[in-house]
Every structure is written in C-alpha cells, then in structure tokens.
Amino acid sequence: MKQLCSLMLLCLFVPQLAFANSKYNLRPGVTDISENVYQLHMTIFIICCVIGVIVFSVMFWALLRHRKSKGATAATFHESTKVEILWTAIPFLILIGMAVPATKTLIAMEDTSKADVTIKITGSQWKWHYEYMGHDLGFYSLLATPQGQIKNAEAKGENYLLEVDKPLVIPTGKKVRFLMTSDDVIHSWWVPDFAVKKDANPGFINEAWTKVNEAGIYRGQCAELCGQDHGFMPVVVEAKSPEEFDTWLAEQKQAMLDQADADAALLDQTLSHEELMSTGEQVYMTRCVACHQPTGLGVPGVFPAIKGSPIATGEIKDHIDIVVQGKPGTAMQAFVSQLTIKELASVVTYQRNAFGNDTGDTVQPSAIQAFIDGEEQ
C-alpha cells in the first residue's frame, strides 16, 4: 500500500515536470484557482490510470492465459455476491475521495465577493466588449489577425487567431470580478490560464472572478458555438502590476477625451472622397467582411449582399441608419458604439462606391453626427 502511494505521488509530479506548460496537457495557469484545478485534474487522471491499469491487466491476463487455443477449458462460476458488493463499494469510496477536493475547489471558485475591480464583459457576434464599471471606460476587442493569413495568402503569425486589436487589461494581485452578458446569442468567455470559463447569456448576467499572480499576456477563445465566426473571437488579457494598470487606466480615459475632441473637430471638416474610400476599405475589411464577404456578395440566404443592394444604392439616410443602428434580431449590429464617426462615414462611403455600386456619393462625418443627433427627421 505504501509503495502504491509513493508510486502515485511520483506519478503526480513526474507528468508535471514533463507536461506542464506543454501542448499535451492542461495548464497550471497563473492563479491559485487554476493551479488547484490543474492539481485536481492530475489527481483524477492518475486515479483513472491506476484503475485502468489494474482492470485491464486482469483482462489481458485472462486473454493471454485463458485462451481456447492454449487448451483452456471454461470454469462454470457465474456469480458471487461478495465480489459484486466489493466492486460496487470500492469505486464508491474512490468517488468520495475525489469529491472532497473537487468540492473545496468549487466553493472557492464561486466566491465572487469583495472584488477590487469589476469588469462587465459583453459578447456579441463576434467580438467582446469590456466595460470597467465605475470608471466610465469601455471598448471593443476584435480579432486582429488579417484576413490574408486566414485565407492562406500570407504567412501566419505567431499568435494566429489568438490576437486582438485591444486586449483587456487587468491588475495583478487584485481580485477582479467579471460580469458576463451577451448582445445576441450565447457566448462563453474563456481564459485557460485563469481557469475561468463562463457563458454570456443574453438578458442575464453571470459572475466569475480571478486574481492573477503574474504579469503577462494570456490568451483564450470563445467556447460556445455562436454562429459563423465563433472560431474568430479570441480573448486576450494583459495583466499589469497595479501601478501600471492605474497609469493605463488614466491614459485610456484621456484617449477617450481626445477622441471626442477629434470627432468634434471633424464636424467642421470636409474629407476628400479618396481619404474616406481608403479608410472605408480598411474598416470594411475588418468589420464587415466576415458576413458581407470581400466581394460584397454576402452569403445568399444568410447575409445580404452589399453589391447592388437597395440600401447601399438607395437613400443615404437609410444606409446610415442600418450601419449606425443595426437591425435588431439579426447579426447586423449597431455600429454607433463601435466605430468613430469618421470610420462610420468612411465605411458608408466605401460601400456606396465599391463593388460596382458607383453611386458617386460622399458621406461626411458631420452627416453621421447629424443622424446620431436625430436632426435628420
């Protein structure tokens, strides 16, 4: 028995040396919880292995020794209440042994109280929005991998499909609470290194928390099938020391003010058609392309075409309306909160002139702002 115990202990640590942080196994991660989860995973795994080895040794022994070709004749026994009770009771005891540490870890995971920072995470098709509660700061986080890499036209980068334009930033050593919700379908926010995976359900909020021990960049993905681009909405979290986090927070707030100023300045300007077209193409190729396709043809029956569409070739106001407000109950989102007015103006201009739409229209940021202000009634 003692030998068995030491063997199990050995097994517990050897795989850790061999497999930790490898691509073969769960990651111990960077939080106390994820470390606990990892240990639990290894313990259960080893127990299963031991049971498997014992049971199948017996079976293979029988297969080797009790073969007809070796002249084995069959015994006649076919029941034994004693044995039956024994092999019902022993697994039961093993299960109790597993349940105890599992329960402890679970209770610790579900305790979301006394958080230092609260972040509201909203999933939408197919991006994440992060809002720092009580700080008046929020932003979208989108896949940053270029379409060329996905379509195999360019070499794939190191963090292919696991990179975003703007990662979530959190402080290390502080309890961070996440509130999850969704804009449309169910998503699931997952960072393996934190052992946090929680569904974002439309109309409801869910809670999870983490306390990251080491600064660094941690990557995960959406884990619940959420439609076409489910595979293309990664999660990237940057953990910074509390001081750096505070600096970052201040910078972000300043940047938001600057953006507001820039928007205000734009209202008096008239941008050139060419400038709007080139910005518009960039925006289109990152924000619109997943559904409406690089050709502007959409996906028949699923996502409408831009090319020759009645909206993109009809009234400018209707076009601005659908881009700004979205279309409820479809994947077409309200981009007013996701893009600047310059980007909105550019993408509308682009869609009205690309793909052979050739309306010749130029939509200025001021027109967008006017629409938002509701002056165009």
Partner 1 sequence: MSTAAATHEHHGPATGIKRWLFTTNHKDIGTLYLLFSLLMFLTGGAMAMVIRAELFQPGLQLVDPHFFNQMTTVHGLIMVFGAVMPAFTGLANWMIPMMIGAPDMALPRMNNWSFWILPFAFAILLMSLFMDGGGPAFGWTFYAPLSTTYSNDNTALFVFAIHIMGASSIMGAINVIVTIVNLRAPGMKWMKLPLFVWTWLITAFLLIAVMPVLAGAVTMVLTDKYFGTDFFNAAGGGDPVMFQHIFWFFGHPEVYIMILPAFGIISTIVPTFSRKKLFGYSSMVYATASIALLSFVVWAHHMFTTGMPLAGELFFMYSTMLISVPTGVKVFNWVATMWRGSISFEAPMMFAIAFIVLFTLGGFSGLMLAITPVDFQYHDTYFVVAHFHYVLVTGAVFSIMAAAYYWLPKWTGHMYSTTLAKWHFWMSLISVNVLFFPMHFVGLAGMPRRIPDYALQFADFNAIISIGGFAFGLSQLLFVAVVFKCIKAGEKAPAKVWDGAEGLEWQVASPAPYHTFETPPEVK
Partner 2 sequence: MNHMPLLRKLLLTTLAMFAFAFALVPLYDVFCDVTGLNGKPSMEQAQQSQSVDNSREVTVSFTTHAQSGAPFKVSARQQAVVVKPGEMSVVTFAAANTSDQARVMQAIPSVSPGLAAKYLHKLACFCFDQQTLQANEQQEYQLRFYVDPALPPEYEELTLSYTLFDISAKHPESLVASAR
**Selection from 260, 210, 232, 195 nearest residue 34 by Cα:** 195
Neighbours of 244 (CB within 10 A): 15
Q: Which of residues 294-353 bind partner 2 (CB under 8 A)?
A: 325-330, 332-334
Question: Is residue 331 a contact partner of residue 337, using CB atoms and an 8 Å limit?
Answer: no
How is 163-184 classified by DSSP, letter by letter? -BSS-EEEETTS-EEEEEEESS
- 32 contact choice in partner 1, partner 2, none (CB below 5 to 8 Å, kind-dependent): none
Minimum distance between the CB of residue 41 and partner 1, rounded to whole angstroms?
A: 5
Query: In this complex, which beta carbon is closest to partner 1, that of residue 199 or of residue 343?
Result: 199
Query: Looking at this protein, which amino acid is placed at residue 210?
Result: T
Query: Looking at this protein, which amino acid is placed at residue 224?
Result: E
Q: Which of residues 241-300 bind partner 2 (CB under 8 A)?
A: none
Query: In this complex, which beta carbon is closest to partner 1, that of residue 21 or of residue 247?
Result: 21
Tokens at 18, concatenated: 């061999």
Query: In this complex, which beta carbon is closest to partner 1, that of residue 328 or of residue 356?
Result: 328
Minimum distance between the CB of residue 324 and partner 2, rounded to whole angstroms?
A: 9
Minimum distance between the CB of residue 15 and partner 1, rounded to whole angstroms?
A: 12
User: Cα–Cα distances in Å, from 135 out to 138, 193, 209, 260?
Assistant: 9, 26, 18, 17
Query: In this complex, which beta carbon is closest to partner 1, that of residue 97 or of residue 265?
Result: 97
Query: In this complex, which beta carbon is closest to partner 2, that of residue 118 or of residue 351?
Result: 118
Q: Tell me, rounded to whole angstroms, the distance of Cα 311 from its chain centroid.
A: 33
Query: In this complex, which beta carbon is closest to partner 2, that of residue 205 or of residue 305?
Result: 205
Q: Which span (38-46, 108-116, 153-161, 281-289) binds partner 2, by CB under 8 A?
A: 108-116
Q: Which span (30-38, 93-101, 113-121, 188-196) binds partner 2, by CB under 8 A?
A: 113-121
Minimum distance between the CB of residue 256 and partner 1, rounded to whole angstroms?
A: 30
- 3 contact choice in partner 1, partner 2, none (CB below 5 to 8 Å, kind-dependent): none
Question: Is residue 352 a contact partner of residue 312, using CB atoms and an 8 Å limit?
Answer: yes
Question: Length of the chain in residues, anyone?
Answer: 377
Cα–Cα distance for residue pair 269/148, rounded to 1 Å: 34
Q: Which of residues 131-190 bind partner 2 (CB under 8 A)?
A: 131, 133-134, 179, 181, 183-184
| Enclosing H/E stretch for 127 | strand 127-132
- 302 contact choice in partner 1, partner 2, none (CB below 5 to 8 Å, kind-dependent): partner 1
Query: In this complex, which beta carbon is closest to partner 1, that of residue 66 or of residue 317?
Result: 66
Binding track, positions 357-376, relative to partner 2; x by CB under 8 A: ---------------x-x-x
* Cross-strand partners of 117: 176
DSSP-derived letter for residue 185 is S
Tokens at 20, concatenated: 């930790």
Cα–Cα distance for residue pair 285/281, rounded to 1 Å: 6
Regarding 124 and contact with partner 2 (CB under 8 A), the answer is: yes
Question: Is residue 292 a contact partner of residue 331, using CB atoms and an 8 Å limit?
Answer: no
Which residues of this chain interact with partner 2, rule CB under 8 A? Answer: 112-115, 118, 120, 122, 124, 131, 133-134, 179, 181, 183-184, 202-207, 325-330, 332-334, 372, 374, 376-377
